[in-house]
Amino acid sequence: MLTLALILFPAVAATLLLFVNGETSRTLAFGAALLELALAAYVFVGFVPDAKTQFAFDYPWIGSLGIRFSAGVDGISLLLVLLTGLLTPFIVLSTFNRNYSRASVFYALMLYMQAALMGVFTARDGFLFYLFFEAALIPIYFLAAMWGGENRIPVTFKFFVYTIFGSLFMLVALVYLYYQTGPINGAPHSSAITDFYNLKLTPTAQGWVFWAFFIAFAIKMPIFPFHTWQPDTYVESPTPATMLLAGIMLKMGVYGLIRFILPIVPIGVEAWGTTAIILSVIGIVYGSIIAIRQQDMKRLIAYSSFSHVGLMAAGVFSQTETGLQGALVQMLAHGINVVGMFFIADVIFSRTNTLQLDQLGGITKTTPKLTVYFMIMLLGSVALPLTNGFVGEFLLLHGVFTFNHYLGLAAGFTIIFGAVYMLRMFQKSMFGASSTRTESFADLTGSESWVLLPLAIMVFWIGIYPVSFLKVTEPAVVNLMKYIGTTAVSLK
Amino acid sequence: MQTDLLCALIPLFPLIGFIINGFGFRRIPKSLAGAIATVAVLASFLTSCFLFGAFLGNANLTSTAGPLKAVLFDWISVGDLDISFSFQIDQLSLLMLLVVTGVGSLIHLYSIGYMKHDEGFGKFMAFLNLFVFFMLLLVMGSNYVIMFIGWEGVGLCSYLLIGFWNTNTNYNNAARKAFVMNRIGDLGFLLGIFWIINLFGTTEYTDVFKQATSLAIGDPEILAITLLLFVGAMGKSAQIPLYTWLPDAMAGPTPVSALIHAATMVTAGIYMVVRSNVLYTLSPLTLEIIGGIAIATALLAASIGLLQNDIKKVLAYSTVSQLGYMFLGLSVTAYTAGMFHVITHAFFKALLFLGAGSVIHAMSDEQDIRNMGGLRKSLPVTFITFLIGTIAISGLPPFAGFFSKDEILAHVFEHNKVLWALGVLGSALTSFYMFRLLFLTFFGEFRGTEEQRHHLHESPATMTAPLVFLAILSAAGGVLNLPGGGWLSDFMAPLFEGSRQVNPEAFAESTIDHSTEYILMAVSAGVALISGIIAYVMYVSRGAVPAPETTERSMPEQVVYNKYYVDEFYEAIIVRPIRGLGDALYSFGEFIIDGVVNGVAWLVRAGSNQLRLLQNGSIGFYVFAMVLSIVAIIALRFFVRF
Residues 6+ apart with CB under 8 A from B59: none
Question: How far does the CA of residue B278 sit from the closest CA of chain A (Å)?
Answer: 21
> For residue A485, what pLDDT band results from cuts at 50, 70 and 90?
low
Q: Where are the alpha helices (DSSP H) in B201-249?
A: 205-212, 220-236, 245-248
Q: Are residues B506 and B369 in the same domain?
A: yes
Return the pLDDT at A186: 77
> Is A163 near chain B, with CB under 8 Å?
no
The reply to whether B539 and B585 lie within a common domain is: no
Residue closest to B255 by CA, chosen among B114, B454, B460? B114
Q: Is residue B32 part of a domain?
A: yes
**Cβ-Cβ contacts under 8 Å for B64 (sequence gap 6 or more):** B494
Please state, rounded to an integer, the average pLDDT across all residues of chain B: 90
Q: What is the mean pLDDT of residues A257-280?
A: 92
Tell me B72's DSSP state: E
- Co-location of B494 and B411 in the same domain: yes
Least CB–CB distance from B582: residue in A292, A423, A433: A292
Name the pLDDT band for B66 (thresholds 50, 70, 90): low
The domain limits of chain A are 1-484
More confident residue, B60 or B639: B639
Whether omega for the bond prior to residue B247 falls within 30 degrees of 0, making it cis, is no
pLDDT of residue A487: 43
What proportion of chain B, given as a percentage, has pLDDT over 70?
A: 98
Rounded Cα distance between A298 and A341, Å, is 9
Phi, psi of B78 (to 5 degrees): -135, 120
Q: Min CA distance, B164 vs chain A (Å)?
A: 10
Which pLDDT band holds residue B65 (cuts at 50, 70, 90)? low
Sign of the CA dihedral running A52, A57, A63, A65:
negative
d(CA B242, CA B500): 31
B154 within domain boundaries: yes
B482 shares its domain with B621: no
How many of the other CB atoms lie within 10 Å of CB of B52?
Answer: 16
N-term to C-term CA, chain B: 76
> B15, B18, B78, B585: best mutation site toward chain A, by most A Cβ within 10 Å?
B78
Mean pLDDT of B371-379: 88
B71 three-class SS: strand
Calculate what percentage of chain A has a pLDDT beyond 70. Answer: 98
ipTM: 0.93
Domain range for B600: 569-639
**pLDDT of B59:** 55
pLDDT at B68 exceeding the cut of 90: no
Please name which of B145, B198, B92, B109 lies closest in space to residue B491, comparing C-alpha atoms.
Answer: B92
pLDDT tens for each residue of A422-478: 999 999 999 988 888 888 888 999 889 999 999 999 999 999 999 999 999 999 998
Mean pLDDT of the B435-442 span: 93
**Chain A environment of B594 (Cβ under 8 Å):** 228
- Taking only Cα atoms into account, the Rg of chain A, rounded to an integer number of angstroms, comes to 21
Provide the pLDDT for residue B436. 93
Contact of A490 with chain B, judged by CB distance below 8 Å, is answered with yes
Q: Specify the pLDDT at position A345.
A: 94
Nearest CA in chain B to A224: B593
Average pLDDT, stretch B248-263? 92
Which residue of A386, A479, A482 is the best one to mutate when testing the B interface, meaning the one whose CB has the most B CBs within 10 A? A386
Over residues B125-134, the mean pLDDT reads 95
The predicted structure's pLDDT at residue A128:
94
Flag whether B510 is in a domain.
Answer: yes
Q: Which residues contact B436 (CB under 8 A, 6 or more apart)?
A: B306, B535, B538, B539
- B530-548 pLDDT, tens per residue? 999 999 999 888 888 888 8
pLDDT surpassing 70 at residue A492: no
Write out the DSSP string of B252-304. S-HHHHHIIIIISGGGHHHHHHHHTHHHHHT-HHHHHHHHHHHHHHHHHHHHH
pLDDT tier for residue A490 given thresholds of 50, 70 and 90: very low
DSSP strand pairing (A67-73 vs A54-62): antiparallel
Rounded CA separation B35/B17 (Å) = 10
Helix (H) or strand (E) holding B76: strand B68-78
Q: For residue range A147-204, what is the model confidence (pLDDT) as tens digits?
A: 988 888 989 999 999 999 999 999 999 999 999 988 887 788 888 998 898 888 888 9
Task: Name the domain boundary from B484, B517, B548.
Answer: B548
Q: State residue B60's pLDDT score.
A: 52
Cβ atoms of A370 and A444 closer than 8 Å? yes
Helix, strand, coil share (%) of chain B residues, nearest 5: 75, 5, 20
* Chain A residues inside the 8 Å CB shell of B577: none
SS3 of B460, please?
A: coil
B477 pLDDT higher than 70: yes
Yes or no, beta carbons of B597 and A228 under 8 Å apart: yes
Residue B279 clears pLDDT 70, i.e. is over it: yes
Residues B141-172 have pLDDT tens digits of 999 999 999 999 999 999 999 999 988 899 99
User: Is the Cβ–Cβ distance between A69 and A119 less than 8 Å?
Assistant: no
- What's the structural domain count of chain B? 3
Is residue B8 domain-shared with residue B129, that is, in the same domain?
A: yes
Residue B56 has pLDDT above 90, yes or no: no
Asked whether residue B590 falls in the same domain as residue B479, the answer is: no
pLDDT bracket for residue A103 (50, 70, 90): confident
Mean pLDDT along residues B25-45: 91
pLDDT value at residue B637: 75
pLDDT in tens, B556-565: 888 888 888 8
Note whether B163 and B45 are same-domain residues: yes
Whether B355 is covered by a domain: the verdict is: yes
B166 contacts A431? CB cut-off 8 A: yes
Q: Which pLDDT band holds residue B641 (cuts at 50, 70, 90)? A: low
B563 part of a folded domain: no
Q: How confident is the model at residue B110 (pLDDT cuts 50, 70, 90)?
A: very high
Is the same domain home to B487 and B616?
no
In a domain, B31, yes or no: yes
Please say if the pLDDT value at position B510 is more than 90.
no
Strand partners, B68: B89
Q: Which of 392-451 (A) contact B at CB < 8 A? A: 394-395, 397-398, 401-402, 405, 408-409, 412-413, 415-416, 419-420, 423-424, 427, 430-433
Please check whether residues B536 and B599 belong to one and the same domain. no
Residue A172, judged by CB atoms within 10 A of its CB (0-12, 13-18, 19+), counts as: middle
In a domain, residue B633? The reply is: yes
Residue B308: inside a domain: no
**What pLDDT is stored for residue A277 in this prediction?**
95
Cα–Cα distance list, B516 to B394, B399, B410, B510 (Å): 21, 21, 9, 11
Q: What single string gives the DSSP state of each residue in B127-142?
A: HHHHHHHHHHHHHHBS
- Looking at residue B537, what DSSP letter applies? I
Chain A, chain B: beta-carbon pairs less than 8 Å apart: 142
Nearest CA in chain A to B601: A162
Q: Do A391 and B186 touch (CB under 8 A)?
A: no
Q: Mapping DSSP to helix (H, G, I), strand (E, B) and coil, where does residue B45 land?
A: helix
Backbone angles phi, psi at B69, to 5 degrees: -120, 140
* B42/B45 Cα distance (integer angstroms): 5
| Cβ atoms B393, B471 nearer than 8 A | no
Cβ proximity of B406 and B395 under 8 Å = yes
The rounded distance, in Å, linking the Cα atoms of A264 and A335 is 27
